[in-house]
């Protein structure tokens, strides 16, 4: 999966995010929203460990390691984000 420039711009407009860093780096919350939609997850409480930024059009994969932990990686299996339910530790 990739997050395109168009998708990023639509999201930034929708949430009114003027942060200039998000012109080159995908916001973590957008990644979480996509992951939850792709995995059909409705966690109300969660924590995110931001390991590495995700760039526009970077190929990423989602690994559902358990009922409470999801890993977002790039094509080289480099971990980018870890999403955990609130009860798990980072």
Residue 90 in any domain: the answer is no
pLDDT in tens, 42-61: 888 888 899 999 999 999 99
Residue 25 in any domain: the answer is yes
pLDDT in tens, 6-34: 999 999 999 999 999 998 899 999 999 99
* Confidence check: pLDDT of 71 > 70: yes
Quote the CA–CA distance of 84 and 22 in Å, as a whole number. 23
* CA count, 13 A, side-chain hemisphere, 84: 10
The residue segments making up the domain with residue 74 are 5-85
Question: Can you give the pLDDT at residue 73?
Answer: 94
- For residues 8 and 26, is the Cβ–Cβ distance under 8 A? yes
Count of the separate structural domains present in the chain: 1
Question: Can you give the pLDDT at residue 90?
Answer: 46
């Amino acid at each position: 999966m990739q997050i395109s420039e168009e998708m990023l711009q639509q999201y930034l407009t929708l949430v009114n995010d003027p942060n200039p860093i998000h012109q080159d780096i995908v916001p973590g919350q957008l990644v979480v929203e996509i992951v939850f939609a792709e995995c059909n997850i409705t966690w109300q409480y969660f924590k995110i460990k931001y390991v590495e930024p995700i760039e526009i059009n970077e190929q990423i994969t989602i690994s559902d390691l358990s009922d409470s932990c999801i890993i977002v990686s790039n094509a080289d299996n480099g971990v980018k984000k870890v999403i955990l339910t609130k009860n798990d530790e980072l």
